[in-house]
Amino acid sequence: MLNKAIYQEEVNGNLDEAIKLFLEIVDKNSTNRAVTVEAFYHLGLTNEKLGNKKAKEYYEKIVNNFGDQPEFVRIARERLSVLTTGVSHKEIALRQVWAGKDVDILGSVSADGEYATYTDWNFGNLAIRNLKTGENKPLTNEGNWKGPIQYALFSLISPDGKQVAYGWYNVKGIWELRLLKIGSQTPVSLYSCVADEYPIPEFWFADGKKIIFCTLNEKNKIWQLSLINITDKEVRLLKEAGGISSPGKVSLSPDEKYIAYELPGPSAKNSYDIHLMSIDTKEESVLVENPSNDRLLGWIPGRNELLFASDRSNTIDIWAVNTSGEKSTEIPKRILTNIGDIFPMGFTRDGSLYYGINSNIFDSFILPFDQNTGKLSNTPRTALLGSIFDVSWLPDGESLICRKYSDDWILRLLKYNSKSGESQILANNLDIKGEPKISPDSKSVLAFGYDKSSSEDINYEGGIYSIDIKTGLPVKIKVKQKINKNGGVEWDKDGKNIFYINDNHLIKHNIETADEKIIFTNKNLFFSPALKRSFDGRDLLFDGIADTRDTAMLNEGEAYLLSIPEREGEIKILCKAIFSGGMLKRFTLTPDGKYIYFSAVTPPQEQSILCRIPATGGTPEKVWQSKGYRIVGISINPDGKSIALSTAVNQGEIRVIENLGRKVAEVFSDEM
């Protein structure tokens, strides 16, 4: 019931139905304090999203009655600290305006707060949503995932709400900065990027004739900030910086004389500082410099205060600094506490801030399983605690290796006990980006990841690590080729060699000698397949799809499960099917070696399904499906009687902080 209620809240956005379910859970599970406190927590969240004052009541219940649940008490206190000021219409109030799977937060909100632009990821088109009525409309009709690929990314509504500037990936494989009048189907190309470069429109000038935009070259890490006149398309370079791996936010001062932008700071890893630059003279200064992570939100319309989010007080809070004259050197003032990790989408004229939140919701559980018939039963269902996924059983049939998102968005590798719920972090210094694979002797885990101590080196692109399960210590395996970031890795049957993907090559690497050999080359490896050792260890299984650059194959949408001998040989197609998205990204084997299980997505409903085929190949047989969620982990218990599954859904949400401008004016009233 808890999973069902959370699904209604976070996936469907049906808050009223979710509240009914959470209340029923509280009523029926009064003795199960772990379940009850989580239900109270979600009752607080759902009521908070609806703007109901009752949210405080549920958070207070947690604080006053659940001292044995310290983590929920801590979170409830933090939410109460945010809500205690939301008393009158003149005070700050947080409100949800859109939530669900279709939410895209890389667009912008209009100056009147009525509309939001976004990318419709079903087709790749630029679209617009009426935030009051909930109506969605496409603005472009060229979006295409079947070839040649075209899609929109990053969009910015003009001050009068009549035009949109946006990035567009065109049929030539080049990014453009485009301009479109709302209601027209004829865009104007303002700027064409060079290879490996993409644009982000950052800010319109009030007259609607000039736009500030940035570009980032992903290959050489060069970030450029420019101003473009949309009438004659003249571009003026304002700022250039190297060593940038991701673009920061930019804002234009109300008098349109200064630009604020964020760049990585020199004092600490994963931190940003905020800079100020005169548009006319290009004179620069550091406005906000601190060892903490300070992220730009922007200027309040019509005011001199610049807002930013900072973790300098151990929670992410909203701060403001006065940028007028000599006051720009004053100490920032805190405006709102514990706002969390947000993506700003724009201020409205009245000073309300719209922002987006993206999160992955994970659910891992164990179901009864019959390896002979392939049937799964949904009852009894044993839930695994926490946001874990990529579950994989160890030989004891009780412990699992898995991944988990931590509070700082680092993907941790865990050893998890399915009976006690206890977990142990392995390789604490690594951000594990790839699916972990247990060694043949079950003593080590192989995975692609990033060493956080090496993150300052812009040339560092991660590596393959062998992690000792007992000690948790990682050892980097020094392969010779560049590794596909999303590509799979796997051991051979003796644990002496590993396999990895480099561009279109499947490579075998000897751990002791570092000798390498390409055992397979095909453009179908372009999408970084998952790898799995066969039951007898003689073959390597992987998924392949039609390369998007091959239009003849693309329209068929064919996906394959392939097998190739470890010591080279003829490739074999084990199964072939039509799958939306095209990739089979998780698969496992039954303990008796008779069947291969894999995950896929089936059209037209696009439901995540679990299929099986005989180990020798055959027609896929659907054995289980998960509506709305995608399968992100499959592992059959060594006893063959249960299966561990992980599912996930990406949840987007747009919220608004109302009356933020009034609050800033109040905090800085002593400077008037």
Per the structure, the complete domain to which residue 491 belongs is given by 370-640
Is position 323 within any domain?
no
Q: pLDDT, tens digit, for every residue of 486-542?
A: 668 999 999 999 999 888 889 999 999 999 999 888 766 656 678 999 999 999 998
Query: What CATH number does residue 33 fall under?
Result: 1.25.40
Is position 654 within any domain?
no
| Mean pLDDT, the chain, whole residue set | 87
Model confidence at 548: pLDDT above 50: no
Structurally, how many domains does the chain consist of? Answer: 2
Is position 99 within any domain?
no
Is position 54 within any domain?
yes
Residue type at 333? K
Instruction: Check residue 669 and give its pLDDT.
Output: 81
Pick the last residue of a domain from 83, 110, 142.
83
Is position 566 within any domain?
yes
Which pair of tokens denotes residue 471? 């000690």
Is position 457 within any domain?
yes
Model confidence at 182: pLDDT above 80: yes
pTM confidence score: 0.73
Query: What CATH number does residue 546 fall under?
Result: 2.120.10.30
Residue 144 is given by DSSP the state: B
Residue 253 pLDDT class (50, 70, 90 cuts): very high
CA 182, 188, 190, 192 torsion-angle sign: positive
Determine the Cα angle at 292 with ends 289 and 293, to 5°. Answer: 90
% pLDDT > 70, the chain: 89
Lowest mean pLDDT among 156-160, 408-412, 547-551: 547-551
Is position 453 within any domain?
yes
Instruction: Check residue 550 and give its pLDDT.
Output: 41
Is position 613 within any domain?
yes
Which pair of tokens denotes residue 622? 């659907």
Q: Which residue has the higher pLDDT, 210 or 587?
A: 210
Model confidence at 649: pLDDT above 90: no
What b/e string do you get for 634-643 counting C-beta neighbours within 10 Å, with b at 16 or more? Answer: bbbbeeeebb
Model confidence at 104: pLDDT above 50: yes
Q: Where are the beta strands (DSSP E) in 26-147?
A: 93-100, 115-120, 125-130, 136-138
Beta-bridge mates of residue 197: 217
Beta-bridge mates of residue 463: 449
Pick the last residue of a domain from 25, 54, 83.
83
Pick the last residue of a domain from 49, 65, 83.
83
